[in-house]
Chains A and B, each alone.
Chain A
Amino acid sequence: MNVLIYLMPIALLLGLGGLAAFFWAMRSGQFEDLDGDAARILFEDDETAPHRRV
């Protein structure tokens, strides 16, 4: 069972990584427009430069 000593921290760190990714996504506005972004991938790209979220 000694394997737990390092398996448990590894598992928890992975979980924390997921939590950090979630906070990053939240902060950068990934949850602002759930319906629009789902459809956006279907739009054709324009000649004009794609615009970043402002």
Chain B
Amino acid sequence: MTLAADHGRLETARALPVETVDGANRIMLAIDGISCSACVQRIERALNAEPDVVAARVNFTTRRLALTWKGAPGRAADFIERLSDMGFTARPFDAGALSTADAARDRHLLRAMGIAGFAAGNVMWLAIAVWAGVFEDMGPATRSLLNWTQALIALPAIAYSGMTFFASAWAAVRGGHVNMDVPISIGVILAAGMSLVQTVVGAPEVYFDAAISLVFLLLVGRYLDHRARGRARAAAAHLLSLAVTHVTRIADGGRIEQVALEQVAPGDQIIVAAGSRVPVDGMVFAGRSALDTSSLTGESVPADVGIGDRVFAGTMNLGAALTVEATAIGPDTVLAEVVRCMEAAEQGRARYVVLADHLARLYAPVVHSLAALTFLGWWLWPVGAPWTVALLNAVAVLIITCPCALAIAVPAVQVAASGRLFKRGILMKSATALERLATIDTVVFDKTGTLTEGRPELVDGTFPAGLADLAAGIAAASRHPLAEALRRARPQAGAITDVTEKPGDGLEAVIEGRTFRLGRRDFAAPGVAEVDDGCAEMWLGGDDIAPLRFAFRDRPRGDAAAVVADLRRHHRVILLSGDRAPAVAALAEALGITEWRAACRPAEKVAAIEDLKASGAKVLMVGDGINDAPSLAAADASMAPSAAADISRTTADVLFQGAGLDAVTATLAVARRSQVLVRQNLGLSLVYNVTLVPLAILGLVTPLLAAVAMSASSLTVILNALRLGRAGKVAAQ
């Protein structure tokens, strides 16, 4: 179930990460729901109009708001409330603790790119002058001056900017395997080294321009790729820094103290406030409340708990404060078991090798033996030239086969595809996700919070208008999800002020001397027979009115039926839910899903997915709860809504924002289209190599030819990557 509805309450209950310097408070908020730049203006206007606000600035790229105000630090909660009224979900995050490594790498890549760009531009005009000298007369002294200048610019730049590739290649070689950076590094280093030797001996053939522009082009690709995925990673990390670390414990003598979660021992009594997560597995010692267990079990109806009932870590307390006696903590909880299950499932995926590296493993030996053959061929037999000439020709082979286009072929498509998806609020976290998504033939859905909205809605029925409005008026006093649903269904009802909340039971209002009760059946309408239709319910009872039942059900997402129908044309669609069979069957029928299983525990979901994979299917898992995290990790590819539980957001390859499910079809379409483009790109760069390698072996490659061919092939590949076409675009209005 979605946890988004509870965030507002959660954050006000917790300490917000507000920094206060010289009386000015500052907070960073991650904002959900910004769809266009007009939203940026609305948010900034509204907040700047608030008294005390010094500055509000939204970063549209990262969807973050930097807010500074004077006065009480506690006002942060008001601002979050204000944003929520405007329809934006704001979640605080600690900018200091998060993604500093990411930001540092981002800056490093940008700096390296700037230096490589400067060097490439300047080396290029010097090189063009030298090439022009081939046709005109250029004295050896002038040429030597130009070559030395190129060397002075290119060598330091290559040493600094190329370090990204050299480090990665070195790590791969030391680990005993080959990635695309190995042939790149060899090509760049050899081109630079040979050019330096040629410059020193005063020979005409220098390749500085090819080497440095190669580094520059590759860095552009790396930077864009890093940036695109950095946004997705940041979105996933927003809430991670806010995990429960402190709990309220009742010490000996009834004193209440705040302790770190690790200090709690079995047998301790812990207070779980309304709106917060249960931190341990345990038994209810005092109090009555309703728990949202959906993230752990998939059940959409909140479970009522009272004294003696078992509660589990990770569930959400919706009603009143509970005192819980801890029975299991940390690694012994059911939640921790789910996490272990997930980590085990994830190891299978780590073995996945991306297409480009796969190719590099074949490519590197072929190219390097070709170069060796060239050297031997020129030196010993059949040519018998001096060894220096043979070496030059062998190095030319390595330079011309340096997989520039090959290395850009995949990232260029990935950047185009993830940019297209990002515009629709779909965030790609994993670099290899597109490749895996393109092969998907089976889609497994979770129910609560994935196919459904994950929040209860009033089931339509005929209610006496006066009483329904009365109930909604009373409900305004509570933030229980059922009360809020009632409020949403009857927004025009006037709020009633004289209401007292009976924790764990419901609400009681006195109007003109008459008492009305809204809440549990045995509280509001004692003696009325139980209705068992699997729906959550609230009863309205009171002096001289017949008890009235309001039933609530989790509604499917608006476009769920259409998306499922669309997917079923080419994919097998399966529904795996932890919820009870009647609820799952009803939803499956409504959406046209023929294969479904109910009451699945997390391990059973994983087993079902493993079975599918064993039978040769490529499985996409779409889920959101804690109970889905292991199956998200086990599937070939995974997607989660951005309001999913933290652990699922961390595990999933792709996150999607917004109310619709069409993100699933859009992602699959973009993935398939981009794989076609990747194959074309790899083909194009191979064609270029196949054409030029014979020339290099024959010793006919000049620096001019190398530079032109390299740039031309890179440009072709980049332009081809932009031909995503209509895949994943929003259908014309």
B-binding residues in A (CB < 8 A): 1, 4, 8, 11-12, 15-16, 18-19, 22-23, 26, 31-40, 42-43, 46, 48, 51-54
Q: By the criterion CB–CB under 8 Å, are A4 and B145 in contact?
A: yes
Residues of A within 8 A of B56 (CB): 51
Shortest CB-to-CB span from B144 to chain A, Å, is 12
**Bound: A42/B59 CA distance, A:** 16
Q: In the complex, what residue of chain A is closest to B152 when comparing beta carbons? A: A12
Q: By the criterion CB–CB under 8 Å, are A54 and B125 in contact?
A: no
**Bound: A48/B114 CA distance, A:** 37
Task: Please pick, from B26, B45, B61, B110, the residue contacting A35 in the complex, using a CB distance under 8 A.
Answer: B61
Q: By the criterion CB–CB under 8 Å, are B107 and A26 in contact?
A: yes
- Other CB < 8 Å A-B pairs besides A15-B121, A39-B40, 15 of them? A11-B122, A12-B122, A16-B118, A23-B111, A23-B114, A31-B110, A33-B60, A35-B60, A36-B40, A36-B58, A36-B60, A46-B45, A48-B48, A51-B56, A54-B26
Shortest CB-to-CB span from A50 to chain B, Å, is 10
Shortest CB-to-CB span from A45 to chain B, Å, is 11
B66 close to chain A: CB less than 8 A: yes
Residues of B within 8 A of A36 (CB): 37, 40, 58-61
Task: Please pick, from B26, B45, B48, B57, the residue contacting A53 in the complex, using a CB distance under 8 A.
Answer: B57
Task: Please pick, from A18, A32, A40, A54, the residue contacting B37 in the complex, using a CB distance under 8 A.
Answer: A40
Q: In the complex, what residue of chain A is closest to B126 when comparing beta carbons? A: A8
Interface residue range, chain B: 20 to 34
Q: In the complex, what residue of chain B is closest to A32 when comparing beta carbons? A: B59
Q: By the criterion CB–CB under 8 Å, are B59 and A19 in contact?
A: no
Shortest CB-to-CB span from B679 to chain A, Å, is 30
Interface mask (B36-72 → A, CB under 8 Å = 1, otherwise 0): 0100110001001100001111111110001010000
Q: By the criterion CB–CB under 8 Å, are B61 and A33 in contact?
A: yes
B527 close to chain A: CB less than 8 A: no
B261 close to chain A: CB less than 8 A: no
- The answer to whether residues A15 and B118 also contact, given A1-B142, A54-B68 and a CB cut-off of 8 A, is yes
- The answer to whether residues A48 and B61 also contact, given A1-B139, A36-B37, A43-B41 and a CB cut-off of 8 A, is no
**Bound: A53/B26 CA distance, A:** 13
**Bound: A38/B26 CA distance, A:** 25
Residues of B within 8 A of A26 (CB): 107, 110-111, 114
- The answer to whether residues A52 and B55 also contact, given A18-B118, A19-B118, A26-B114 and a CB cut-off of 8 A, is yes
Shortest CB-to-CB span from B66 to chain A, Å, is 6
Residues of B within 8 A of A31 (CB): 110
**Bound: A53/B48 CA distance, A:** 14
Shortest CB-to-CB span from B130 to chain A, Å, is 12
Residues of B within 8 A of A40 (CB): 37, 40
Residues of B within 8 A of A12 (CB): 122, 149, 153
Task: Please pick, from A37, A48, A54, the residue contacting B49 in the complex, using a CB distance under 8 A.
Answer: A48
Task: Please pick, from A4, A16, A33, A43, the residue contacting B62 in the complex, using a CB distance under 8 A.
Answer: A33
- Minimum-distance CB pairs A-B, first 9: A36-B60, A39-B37, A19-B118, A51-B55, A33-B59, A22-B114, A35-B60, A33-B61, A35-B61
B692 close to chain A: CB less than 8 A: no
**Bound: A39/B57 CA distance, A:** 13
Q: In the complex, what residue of chain B is closest to A27 when comparing beta carbons? A: B107
Residues of B within 8 A of A53 (CB): 57
Q: Which of A22, A36, A38, A43 has the most CB of B within 10 A?
A: A36
B115 close to chain A: CB less than 8 A: yes
Main SS class of interface, B: helix
Q: Which B residues between 103 and 118 are near A, CB-CB below 8 angstroms? A: 107, 110-111, 114-115, 117-118
Shortest CB-to-CB span from A24 to chain B, Å, is 11
Q: Which of A15, A31, A35, A42 has the most CB of B within 10 A?
A: A35
Residues of A within 8 A of B121 (CB): 15
Task: Please pick, from A4, A16, A18, A32, the residue contacting B142 in the complex, using a CB distance under 8 A.
Answer: A4
**Bound: A34/B54 CA distance, A:** 23
- The answer to whether residues A46 and B68 also contact, given A22-B114, A23-B114 and a CB cut-off of 8 A, is no
**Bound: A19/B142 CA distance, A:** 27
**Bound: A18/B119 CA distance, A:** 11
Residues of A within 8 A of B125 (CB): 11
Residues of A within 8 A of B59 (CB): 32-33, 36
Residues of A within 8 A of B115 (CB): 19
Instruction: Show 22 A/B contacts (Cβ-Cβ < 8 Å), sorted by A.
Output: A4-B142, A4-B145, A8-B149, A11-B122, A11-B125, A15-B121, A18-B118, A26-B107, A26-B111, A33-B59, A33-B60, A33-B61, A35-B37, A35-B60, A35-B61, A38-B37, A46-B48, A51-B56, A52-B55, A54-B54, A54-B55, A54-B66
**Bound: A36/B66 CA distance, A:** 14
Q: By the criterion CB–CB under 8 Å, are A34 and B118 in contact?
A: no
Q: Which B residues between 689 and 711 are near A, CB-CB below 8 angstroms? A: none
Shortest CB-to-CB span from A52 to chain B, Å, is 7
Residues of A within 8 A of B54 (CB): 51, 54
Q: By the criterion CB–CB under 8 Å, are B118 and A54 in contact?
A: no
**Bound: A38/B118 CA distance, A:** 25
Q: By the criterion CB–CB under 8 Å, are B37 and A19 in contact?
A: no
Residues of A within 8 A of B111 (CB): 23, 26
Interface mask (B3-37 → A, CB under 8 Å = 1, otherwise 0): 00000000000000000000000100000000001
**Bound: A53/B125 CA distance, A:** 38
Shortest CB-to-CB span from B165 to chain A, Å, is 21
**Bound: A52/B55 CA distance, A:** 8
**Bound: A19/B61 CA distance, A:** 25
**Bound: A16/B61 CA distance, A:** 29
Q: In the complex, what residue of chain B is closest to A9 when comparing beta carbons? A: B149
Q: By the criterion CB–CB under 8 Å, are A39 and B60 in contact?
A: yes
Interface mask (B134-177 → A, CB under 8 Å = 1, otherwise 0): 00000100100100010001000000000000000000000000
Q: In the complex, what residue of chain B is closest to A34 when comparing beta carbons? A: B61
Residues of B within 8 A of A42 (CB): 37
**Bound: A37/B142 CA distance, A:** 47
Q: By the criterion CB–CB under 8 Å, are A32 and B61 in contact?
A: yes
Shortest CB-to-CB span from B564 to chain A, Å, is 33
